[in-house]
Amino acid sequence: MLEVKNLHARIGDKEILKGINLTINDGEVHAIMGPNGSGKSTLSAVLVGNPAYEVTEGEAWYNGKNLLEMKPEDRAHEGLFLSFQYPVEIPGVSMTNFMRAAINEKRKYHGQEPLNASEFMKLMREKRKVVELDSKLAHRSVNEGFSGGEKKRNEIFQMAMLEPTLSILDETDSGLDVDAMRIVAEGVNKLSNEKTSTIVITHYDRLLEMIRPQFVHVLYKGRIVKTAGPELAKEIQERGFDWIKQEADGE
């Protein structure tokens, strides 16, 4: 699914990613943890093609294609999905119209006819049920005036609609309450199958207890310095990151 090799990236003249190696196979759920400022959000931004970051070295392959040579919108059409740490509000654009444009752009990319209004509404209904999104939210402007939990559910709904093969969920460093965590966890658990993969970026051990990733990575100073099973999240919860920082700095 995804193979990242020795990935380096910078913003301005500041190098942020300093040699990331990461392999994700079909059906796997990976968590990325790490102290604030270690490059977690940068990694997700680089993978989806945020032009603010410059890749200076390394490779990223996605289902056999060179991810770094693809336009950001094509990465999305190929099945890459990034949730935003701080979801944007788009006043005046209803969720319905927003999703319809996104779905039909993706279909066009794959040489398929656009969905007509009734096909699209049927899809909306099906997916709303899966993620238990209130129909009222679906008709409001994108994220406008949504509560934190509603934004989360909306994000999971977008994910359900777009049926990504690789989802990257970059969770806020603060302010994700237990209900919002449950929404995210249930969504990820419902939507993942043997053909999809998920990267959850979080420092919430609680969230990872609900999602149960097979792999937990720690990103520190632009490198993955530790990889283990879900027990690592628990250990970090209990001991913090200092011991991992010391191990990494001592090398």
Give the one residue of 36, 66, 189, 214 binding Mg ion; rule: CB under 5 A: 36
- Among ligand ADP, Mg ion, none, the one that 52 touches (CB under a kind-dependent 5 to 8 A) is ligand ADP
Query: Which of positions 142-181 make contact with ligand ADP (CB under 6 A)?
Result: none
Under the criterion CB under 5 A, does residue 154 sit at the interface with Mg ion? no
Under the criterion CB under 6 A, does residue 228 sit at the interface with ligand ADP? no
Under the criterion CB under 6 A, does residue 226 sit at the interface with ligand ADP? no
Rounded Cα distance between 250 and 234, Å, is 23
Query: Which of positions 156-195 make contact with Mg ion (CB under 5 A)?
Result: none
Under the criterion CB under 6 A, does residue 52 sit at the interface with ligand ADP? yes
Under the criterion CB under 6 A, does residue 117 sit at the interface with ligand ADP? no
Give the one residue of 39, 58, 187, 213 binding ligand ADP; rule: CB under 6 A: 39
User: Could you tell me if 229 and 214 are in contact, meaning their C-beta atoms sit under 8 angstroms apart?
Assistant: yes
Rounded Cα distance between 82 and 39, Å, is 16
DSSP symbol at 2:
E
- Among Mg ion, ligand ADP, none, the one that 34 touches (CB under a kind-dependent 5 to 8 A) is ligand ADP
H-helix or E-strand containing 131? Answer: helix 117-131
